[in-house]
Amino acid sequence: MNVRPDGGRTARSVDVLVVGAGPAGLAAAARLAAAGAGRVEVLEREPEPGGVPRLCVHPGFGADPRGRALDGPGSARRAVRAAVRAGAVLRTGVSATGW
């Protein structure tokens, strides 16, 4: 999977930088990467992507294509897969501290 822990400082150039790999950031990254926006990179300060739903172990996060209810972690995994499949790069353990 294209999810990289990032301990170092490396200069990179991206076309789109998304701050935060929660549902909003992952959805934006998936759509933009799929639309051909170029190199789309998502920074996430936590060690794992997925945002708050990752910690919400209860249903209420929509359903999969077969209509089965998703819990938070399941929903987060789907969002991560969608972003990565679309071509976005996720970097975990990285905080944006300036703009």
Ligand X SMILES: Cc1cc2nc3c(=O)[nH]c(=O)nc-3n(C[C@H](O)[C@H](O)[C@H](O)COP(=O)(O)OP(=O)(O)OC[C@H]3O[C@@H](n4cnc5c(N)ncnc54)[C@H](O)[C@@H]3O)c2cc1C
Look up tokens 């209860």; give the residue: 58
Span of 4-12, 29-37, 54-62, 80-88 interacting with ligand X by CB under 6 A: 54-62
Q: Residue 71 Cβ, how far from ligand X at the closest point, in Å?
A: 8
**Cα Rg of the chain (Å, integer):** 14
By CB under 6 A, is residue 25 in contact with ligand X?
A: yes
Span of 2-10, 22-30, 31-39, 82-90 interacting with ligand X by CB under 6 A: 22-30
Q: What is the DSSP letter of 26?
A: H
Give the Cα separation of 87 and 94 in Å (integer). Answer: 19
Q: Which of 18, 22, 88, 90 binds ligand X (CB under 6 A)?
A: 22
Span of 2-10, 31-39, 41-49, 81-89 interacting with ligand X by CB under 6 A: 41-49
Give the chain's end-to-end CA distance (angstroms, integer): 27
Q: What is the DSSP letter of 31?
A: H
Which residue type occupies 35?
A: A
Residues that bind ligand X (CB under 6 A): 19-25, 43-46, 51-53, 56, 60-61, 95-96
